[in-house]
Amino acid sequence: MKKIYAIILTFIIAINLYCFDLIEDTFDFIFDDLAQLIGIVVIIAVVIFFVRKYLNKKNSDKGN
């Protein structure tokens, strides 16, 4: 009887550890994608900023 309880307890612990691993992998996946998305948005914003700055400078030079 003790062996059955030990096997059941071991099975339950293994399932819990596997679930924690799945949760950790899910969070890693979400945060990696989120970091990539934020990086892409920042790069696009910087490019747009410098393009607008260059175009405004070019337009102001034509006006003089």
Residue numbers in the chain where pLDDT is lower than 50: none
pLDDT of residue 45: 93
For residues 30-45, b (16+ Cβ closer than 10 Å) or e, as one string?
eeeeeeeeeeeeeeee
What pLDDT shows up at residue 42?
92
For tokens 């996946």, what's the residue? 29
**pLDDT at position 24:** 75
Residue-wise pLDDT for 10-19, tens only, equals 877 777 766 6
Given this model, what pLDDT does residue 19 score?
67
Return the residue matching tokens 């949760």: 23
